[in-house]
Every structure is written in C-alpha cells, then in structure tokens.
Amino acid sequence: MAGYRRGRISCKIFVMSERKHTLGAPAEFSGVGAHTGKTVRVVLKPSETGRIIFRRRDLGGRIVAVDPAQAEAQSCIVLSSGAARVRTVEHLLASLLMCGVDSADVDLDGEEVPLLDGSASPIVRVIEKAGKKKIDAERRTLILAKPLVVKEGEASILLEPAAEFVVSYVIEYRHPSIGRQELSLRLDEETFKAEVAPARTFGFLKDAERLNALGLARGSSLENTVVIGDDGVVNPPLRFSDEFVRHKILDFVGDMALLGSPLRARVSARRAGHGLHLRAARDLHAQRDEFFPS
C-alpha cells in the first residue's frame, strides 16, 4: 500500500511452554456470513494436531491453514489455499486463542464464518459449553524481546516487550457518534470474555451501497452490525459507550491469532485496521526462526 513504512525489525522471541488444549467435545453454530450473505454451518471438532485448521466440507474436505503469509485483508481476514478460501475468521480465531484452545478442526460448508450477532460472545459460549482438555503437545507463548513498528499514513502499530498481553488502541472518526475513543486493556481469558468479546462490528449506512457493489457486507444487517447513520446509531443501544474501539481490539486479537500462539507484548495501535494488523502479523511471522530459538 502507498505510504506504508516498515519499522526496523529486530524481533528476538523467547518462549514459555505448557500443555496445549483442544475442545472437550464437538460443538457447532450456524448463521449468515457478513460479506457473502450466505448461511454456513460450522462444526468445531477436537484435534490432536496441535493447531487450528479449517476444512471446507463443500469442497471435498479441502484444508485451509491458519497462515499469515497466505492471508489477505478485505474488510476482514481471508485465508486461502489454492482456490479454497475461508473469510471472516478473526472473531473465531480470537475466541479460540483467548479461551485457551490451541488445537481444533473447523469444518464448514461454505466460504465464510458466520457473523452471528456481530461479536465474539456467541462463539465464546459455544467453546465454553464444549469445554477443553489437554493434549500431548507443547504450548509456546511468544514473548517479544524488541520493538516492532508498522505504519501506513496516519495509522500505526507499535509492539514492545512486556510480560503480559496489553493492547492500547485509539480510533478517530469524524462522525460525532464515535469521535475519538481510546482504551487500554491487559488481556487474559476473563478480560477478553467480559470486556472485548461482546463488542460488535460496526459500519456506516452511507457505505452500504459501495460495499455491496464490491461484493462485501451483503449479509450485514441491523441484527449483526451496529449501523451508524447521519443522525447517529440506527439500532441502539450500544453494549458499551466505547463499543467501537473495543471491537477494534477484538479484531486485533483475532488477526494476531494468525501467529498460532499466544503473544506477550505491549501493543499501541492508532487508527489501524485489518490491513495493518495483518502486516504486523506477517512481519512477526517472517521472523519465525527467532520465535522458537533452539
């Protein structure tokens, strides 16, 4: 993208280890995809592989891996394997990661993970109901040792060393219903479930026709999106007074989940989005030899 500048990367990653977990039982949910507008059934299955994989049942069981190098940002995160694609994976990946599920097969009979109510909370509840169990694989937590900066115009993300996963996010919109919102959270399972997962995706009514013409947002509705019109929020009430910035944090967590392991870092993001999140994940992934030092 024009104006993008990559920060100088010297990312030496140390690791902490414990046992990985998978689901305690199969679980499923279904709903409409935000962009395709098609109904898709998703089945989460326990797995001993030690990783999250997607399987397109409608394409003969074609596997699509969770890999930032094979991902694109198109108003959501899209994973690809040849002609097989899975889109809008961020809420599901964030929920699995923050609920401590490292290993699962995600079977779906369409291209897009359903948006449900626009938040991650319904997925969290499905995972909680399934429970989890340990598997014979080591869970490694990535601990960033040196800073990483990515910038694009006025948008930026800074990752710095920290003992915890702390995300500080600033958004700024000219619309008075949003304006400037800023929030900093130390993220663990409890905080994620209470403070981040319930925050819903949002969009502007004026953009609907343009997005539809691009093949996007065809499944978005007042039931799964906080819609902002000229005079304010069309479908109140909000779940938080700062729900918009909380949803940005949710998306960031899901996009960083592409790394396949929990991350310990202090993050400062300003006016970013899926595109810049993915660039940060790709830069970290490109240093994978440093992630797991021998």
Instruction: Tell me which residues are annotated as active site.
Output: 274
Q: How far apart are CA 101 and CA 81, in angstroms?
A: 23
CA dist., res. 6 & res. 20, Å (int): 33
Rounded CA-CA distance 243/131 in Å is 28
Q: In the chain, helix, strand, coil percent, each to 5?
A: 25, 40, 35
φ and ψ at 256, to 5 degrees?
A: -70, -20
- Which residue is associated with the tokens 């940002």? 73
Residue 282, phi-psi category: left (phi > 0), alpha (psi -120 to 50), beta (remainder):
alpha
Closest residue by Cα to residue 200 from 147, 159, 243, 231: 243
Give the helix ranges, DSSP H, for 169-270.
Answer: 189-191, 208-213, 243-256
User: DSSP state, 15?
Assistant: E
Residue whose C-alpha is closest to residue 240's, from 197, 205, 190: 197
